[in-house]
Amino acid sequence: MNGAERRRRIAALLDSKTPVSGAELARRLGVSRQIIVQDVALMRAENKDILSTNKGYLLYDRAGQQGACRRVFHVRHTTEQVLDELTTIAELGGQVLDVSVEHQLYGQIRVDLVIQSPQDAAEFAQRLAASEGEPLKVLTGGDHYHTVAAGSERLLDVIERELAAKGYLIP
């Protein structure tokens, strides 16, 4: 199979709502994970909207997100409160698209999350607890930002009020 055919197959495998890990793509296509990383980079250069989430690659439906309302929330909390924060947003109808920090040296560092449900939040918190790594927020003393999408500004207002009530929101 040549590279173009492999990239078409990657796009077909990613054409779903469930992220697929690089290792799983490599296994299905009989290549190394590094080849998958290179193919994804080429696909992005061809304007394919592919997100690298904590659960794997996801073909991003930019057209489906255009109607969604978005807001960036500036938050701070402990690592133990990550699950509560993400679950709160998801239970109120929000989708956590990313996390970012403003680093003194590097500027903005952003990572796609795409947490759409309380189950996604729980899975993320489990991976965080099992990993030896630290969440991005440790680089900035706990301060970080989430881009949240929801079906309406009203839902974003509700999410904002709940994050503030829990003490997570930085005014």
Residue with tokens 């680089």: 139
Nearest to 70 by CA among 156, 158, 6: 156
Backbone angles phi, psi at 71, to 5 degrees: -150, 145
SS3 state of residue 93: coil
Q: What is the mean pLDDT of the chain?
A: 87
Read off the pLDDT of residues 92-134 as tens digits, 9 standing for 90 and up.
999 998 899 998 888 889 888 888 889 989 998 998 889 888 8
